[in-house]
A and B are shown apart, each in its own frame.
Chain A
Amino acid sequence: MSIARQKPLFPHRHLLGIEGLSRPEIEHLLDMAEEAVEVSRQVEKKRSILRGRTQINLFFEASTRTQASFELAGKRLGADVMNMAVANSSVKKGETLIDTAVTLNAMRPDIIIVRHHCSGAVDLLAKKVGCSVVNAGDGSHEHPTQALLDALTIRRRKGRIEGLTVAICGDVAHSRVARSNLILLSALGARVRVVAPSTLLPTGIERMGVEVFRDMRAGIAGADIVMMLRLQRERMDGAYVPSLKEYARFHGLDDEKLRLAAPDALVMHPGPINRGVEISTSVADGPQSLINEQVEMGVAVRMAVLEALAQHLPNA
């Protein structure tokens, strides 16, 4: 029996992105999340891992489900959770991101969950605070907990990720969900395709280790997982795609297109969905849809992340 402290299975103080995580670290988080699923399905959901700890949800961008999911995760682990309503805060009065970070840091939180509309903003904030930081989405860069919850959902349903063909469809160019997912799924051995009109594909995507399709029928043919992305309303109207109608026709997932995927294909969407645009109601509510399961896995994955980071908190 060794008395030397074991190297922790998740050695990071922050979770800023999937980039930089090793396959064992990702799998460790998913394993922890499996346990959190069980906890969340019990009547008594409360744990004490984060008792006495303070978690601040700092959302510079409006969010309902992600913020609620982090709040529940923190509370189930026993933390005191505070939601910062940024719309009413000093940020709107012109305070810089760094000043906000320094101010919050002085309140001695243990974990800050941050969403920001600028790519890289969460990294910047993490450098200015003494506590752990979780990226809840930064601009078009990363959304690591979404990728983890997607992976957990797939792994529970399919039993594996290795070797699966996953088609990520839609506004890849502006999607942090797509970036985190393609890094994570590739790391776990999935074959990742991206499917979008050229205007919604980031430059150089061909060199990011994915197969690129402009034609959705070809792109989802034989896929095990069809992962739809949300199309922001402001991008529908002539700037990137001509219209909602045309987008739905050529890039919306409906029953007819879904039949081209593998017979046991599963459909995912990070939500909130635009019914009739990127996904038809019959597919979103159909038997192949995992959309609600993704939400459940979201809480579990965030509990796992908070627990993993808690090991590095002072006095842990």
Chain B
Amino acid sequence: MLHAPIALVNARLVDPVSGQEGRGGVLVSGGLIQDLGAGVTRDAVASDIRIVDCGGDVVSPGLIDMRVFVGEPGAEHRETIASASRAAAAGGVTTICVTPDTSPAIDDPAIVDFLMRRARDNAQVRVLPVAALTKGLKGREISEIGLLGEAGAVAFSNGRHSVRNAQVMRRAMTYARDFDALIMHVAQDEDLAGSGVMNAGELASRLGLTGIPREAEAIVLDRDMRLVAMTGGRYHAELISTSLSLDIMARAKQQGMRVSCGVSINNLTLNENDIGDYRTFLKLMPPLRHEDERLALVEGLASGVIDVIVSDHDGQDVEAKRVPFAEAEAGAVGLETLLAAGLRLVHADQVSLPILLRAMTSRPAEILGLPQGRLAIGAPADLIRFDPDEPFVVDPATLHTVCKNTPFDEARLQGRVKMTLVAGAPVHE
């Protein structure tokens, strides 16, 4: 069902592709952007069209979040498609890619089909399944990349674990290339990470917690880059967290390899000191690193080495977090705070608004081959309106997610989303 036409007028339009900003409006009908720019004003729009006066708020493409855990099937107590979709809409996220580490894993075309039907019936935002790269995510056998892709899988990932066996990874990349399929991977050497629970370093030593060295990420990422060079596949490092990884990515990109990388909003805006008094909501994977690493990531975002920012939304139920730090599950919700947390970097003058938005809209769209994520006539009308300066305090009770474990608990943020459109239909106001 296509929604009635809408005109967003008197807005500050931010185009992440060109980096241009300007006053104007967007006319939406038939699910697409029909017109945009300074010419779309209250007076210029036909009288029977609903007009939203944005009062100078930013209007940009809706966010595309490449890494969201939704507990369907198998962990509905942590998140459902419906709850994740409501949270996404409230956070201005109009497309979510759901991770394959469900139970059972998304390693069968029938499960992709199940998710797409569930999304069609329960989601207000676009839901794109990421399928398992290996069967059961066990890292041993290649999954049915061709059939899963035909069923609707948008990319292939091994969930929260790396593929440990380099021969399996090589064959997966080799096979995926035949379908030009995108492999997404979380790089972490499981042996080196061992039983680590936070960043290795002085703070971990002081807290008496086992550390995960930066090299655990770099070693696997470096291996993967060599395999990409060997096989010629398309590869996206899902979550990098260190300056070592930035160097590896920068080098691979210089060599013209078809690679990209993402960073969690948490690693971009928080550091290991935020763990403070063993706060389990700050237990994350990859772990929060030293402030120097965070600053390097911010620089990597500004320079374009980092392509994408994800929420790494991964709700954990209360019992999984109300335990000693070492025993707590890693992961945090993030859909509703993604934009506002990212705006911290803009307010600190570390990156510009278009660069921040590019990493949350047009770059993910380019990597995934999606038509949305840009402000252009004919593009899907997935749009958000927000005032980047409007302050608010994160109140877990108001979150739409099933779980409330946000690392921004009680944090003062700026930039609440006032309106979200998906295919021209308002899904949040």
Q: Which residues of A contact B (CB under 8 A)?
A: 197-199, 214-215, 237-243, 245-246, 249-250
Instruction: Report A-chain residues with C-beta under 8 Å of the C-beta of B171.
Output: 199, 239-240
Pairs of residues from A and B, 9 with the lowest C-beta to C-beta distance, nearest first: A238-B141, A242-B144, A246-B144, A214-B178, A198-B174, A242-B142, A199-B175, A199-B174, A246-B147
Taking CB atoms, residues of chain A closer than 8 Å to B175 are 197-199, 240-242
Of all chain B residues, which has the CB nearest A203?
B230
Given contacts A246-B147, A249-B146, contact A239 B178 (CB under 8 A): no
**CB of A237, distance to nearest CB on chain B (Å):** 6
When distances are taken between beta carbons in the complex, the residues of chain A under 8 Å from B145 are 242, 246
Report how far A237 CA is from B140 CA in the complex, Å: 10
Identify 25 residue pairs between A and B in the complex whose beta-carbon atoms are under 8 Å apart, listed by A's number.
A198-B175, A198-B178, A198-B231, A199-B142, A199-B171, A199-B174, A199-B175, A215-B178, A237-B141, A238-B140, A239-B171, A240-B171, A240-B175, A241-B142, A242-B135, A242-B142, A242-B144, A242-B146, A242-B175, A245-B147, A246-B145, A246-B146, A246-B147, A249-B146, A249-B147
Tally of A-B Cβ pairs under 8 angstroms: 47
B124 at the interface (CB under 8 A from A): no
Docked Cα-Cα span, A240 to B170, in Å, equals 10
Which applies to chain A's interface (DSSP): helix, strand, loop or mixed?
Answer: loop
B-side interface size class: 10 to 19
Is the contact region of chain B dominated by helix, strand, or loop, or is it mixed? helix
* B143 CB-CB contact with A under 8 Å: yes
Q: CB-CB < 8 A to B143: which residues of A?
A: 238, 242
Contact B178 A242 (CB under 8 A): no
Separation of A147 and B145 alpha carbons in the complex (Å): 34
* 1/0 contact string of B144-185 vs chain A (CB within 8 Å): 111100000000000000000000000100110110000000
In the complex, what residue of chain A is closest to B135 when comparing beta carbons?
A238
Task: Give Cα distance in the complex from A249 to B148, angstroms.
Answer: 12
Q: Which B residues lie within 8 Å of A241 (CB)? A: 142, 175
Q: Flag if A250 contacts B174 (CB, 8 Å).
A: no
Q: Tell which of A215, A239, A241, A246 has the most Cβ of chain B within 10 Å.
A: A246
Closest chain-B Cβ to A206's Cβ sits at a distance in Å of 13
| Other A-B pairs beyond A242-B175, A246-B146, 9, CB < 8 Å | A198-B174, A198-B177, A238-B134, A238-B141, A242-B135, A242-B141, A242-B143, A243-B144, A249-B147
With CB as the reference atom, state the residue of chain A lying closest to B107: A242
What are the residues of chain B within 8 A of A237 when measuring CB–CB?
A: 141
From A197, A239, A250, contact of B141 by CB (8 A): A239
Give Cα A239–Cα B169 distance, bound, in whole angstroms: 10
In the assembled complex, the Cα of A240 lies from the Cα of B167 at a distance in Å of: 10
Closest to A238 in B: B141
Closest-by-CB residue of B relative to A215 is B178
Q: Which residues of chain B have C-beta atoms less than 8 A from A199's C-beta?
A: 142, 171, 174-175
State the Cβ distance, B100 to closest chain A Cβ, in Å. 14
B111 to chain A, nearest CB (A): 15
Q: Could you tell me if A245 and B177 are in contact, using CB atoms closer than 8 angstroms? A: no
Quote the shortest CB–CB distance from A198 to chain B (angstroms): 5
CA distance A214 to B181 in the complex (A): 14
Docked complex: B108-142 residues within 8 A CB-CB of A: 134-135, 140-142
Whole-angstrom distance between the alpha carbons of A235 and B134 in the complex?
15
**Which chain B positions have C-beta within 8 A of A250?**
146
Q: Which residue of B lies closest to A197 (CB)?
A: B178
The smallest C-beta distance from A213 to any residue of chain B, in angstroms, reads: 10
Tell me, in angstroms, the Cα distance from A197 to B140 when the chains sit together. Answer: 19
